[in-house]
Structure 1
Amino acid sequence: MGNHQLTSLIRMANQIAANNTHIGDDIAEAEMVADHMTKFWARSMKVQIREYLEQDGSELLPIAKQAVALLKH
């Protein structure tokens, strides 16, 4: 995946996270985001975003970071 694709994944992860902040529980919100990614993202997308989190992750919102970390389990 190129840089443009990674930028798109970061944007999508942040959008999903922003759309799931209504619960008021960071853990539950992160689990919802991770669940969405698990269900709808291709394996290659999940691998790319996990690698990004491990290397930098600075552009991910806090809930998105937690969600991506949950994908490792």
Structure 2
Amino acid sequence: MSRSQLDTLIHMANQIAANNAHYGDDAAERVYTHLKKFWARSMKRQIVDYLQQDGSELSPLARQAIERLAQSQSETHSASA
């Protein structure tokens, strides 16, 4: 994956988070649900990898949602093993 593609994913995740921030306590879950439903598996894997390696460009809300996504992927992977 190129840095340009990663920058696009970071930007998109931060935009989704910003657009859902007004939901307060439910915001991170809404962002997580959006990513899970609408992002391709490869996009989800790339943004989770970025979070685990650095994640510094993610907003706090995007980071929280992507941490939940990583947890969900880990649970799914463990259940299918």
TM-score (norm 1): 0.93
List, as ranges, runs of 4+ consecutive aligned residues in structure 1 with deviation greater than 4 Å.
none
Q: Once the two structures are aligned, what percentage of the paired residues are identical?
A: 62
Mark the runs of 5 or more structure 1 residues left unpaired by the alignment.
Answer: none
Residues 17-62 of structure 1: CA deviation (Å, up to 9, x unaligned): 000011221xx21110010011110000000000000000000000
Distance 1:8 1:19 in 2: 16
Number of residue-to-residue matches in the alignment? 71
Compare relative contact order (CA 8 Å, sep 6+) and give the higher one, 1 or 2: 1
Over aligned residues, Cα RMSD in angstroms? 0.6
Residue of structure 2 equivalent to 1:10: 10
Larger radius of gyration, structure 1 or 2?
Answer: 2
Higher helix share: 2
